[in-house]
Every structure is written in C-alpha cells, then in structure tokens.
Amino acid sequence: DVVMTQTPLSSPVTLGQPASISCRSSQSLLQSDGNTYLNWLQQRPGQPPRLLIYRVSNRFSGVPDRFSGSGSGTDFTLKISRVEAEDVGVYYCMQATHLPQTFGPGTKVDI
C-alpha cells in the first residue's frame, strides 16, 4: 500500500497569517493517464470531511481561494494564505492513484 505522511501533525496558527502542510507519498502518484490523484480534505470539529483540493491543485466548488495546492510526484503542499477562524480542523491528504487508496494521518490546525 502507498504510505502517505504529513508534516507537521499539529500546527498552531495565527489568524491572518499563512499556514502550510506538507504531504509525501511512498510512491509517485502520477498515473498512466497523466493525472496525479492527490486530494486534500478538511474536517472541521464535529463535521464529516469535505473536499478542498483535487488532483493536486484544483479547488473544489465553494472553497475559498486562500486555499491552494501544489506539488508533483511524491511531494505535495497545501497552503492557506491567511488563516481564518473557520479553518480550524484536521487536514488530510489522500491518494487515489493506486489501490487501495490511502490517507495521510492528518494535520491538526488550531489557533
């Protein structure tokens, strides 16, 4: 199975300041179709996860533009340009390139 690692696992942030989460996979996530199926999910306290970013850098519908994703191969990054109070929660990277699909351990973001 592809192992997903995230750093940091916990990230205290300051409102209005940027934040960044790194994600690394044990194998390249570039699929033969040319796509890289690396997604970022956000889980606010008491809520189900929701999709933030798909295929590395595409913001899902309704996601604020302060969220951005980048990376390639095995190294990926989620950035929040200016953290807001509603961004508190756990962020997961996950890969859908290889089966079984796998998730990172999550990064807890709190103020």
Binding residue (CB under 8 A) for another protein from 50, 64, 70, 72: 50
Q: Does residue number 102 form part of the binding site for another protein (CB under 8 A)?
A: yes
Q: Does residue number 82 form part of the binding site for another protein (CB under 8 A)?
A: no
User: Contact at 8 Å (CB) between 94 and 36?
Assistant: no
Q: Does residue number 105 form part of the binding site for another protein (CB under 8 A)?
A: yes
Q: Does residue number 101 form part of the binding site for another protein (CB under 8 A)?
A: yes
User: Contact at 8 Å (CB) between 11 and 19?
Assistant: yes
Collapse the DSSP code of 87 into the 3-class scheme (helix H, G, I; strand E, B; otherwise coil) and give the result: helix
Q: CB neighbours (10 Å) of residue 66?
A: 15
Contact positions vs another protein (CB under 8 A): 1, 37, 39, 41, 48-51, 54-55, 58, 60-61, 90, 92, 94, 96, 99-106
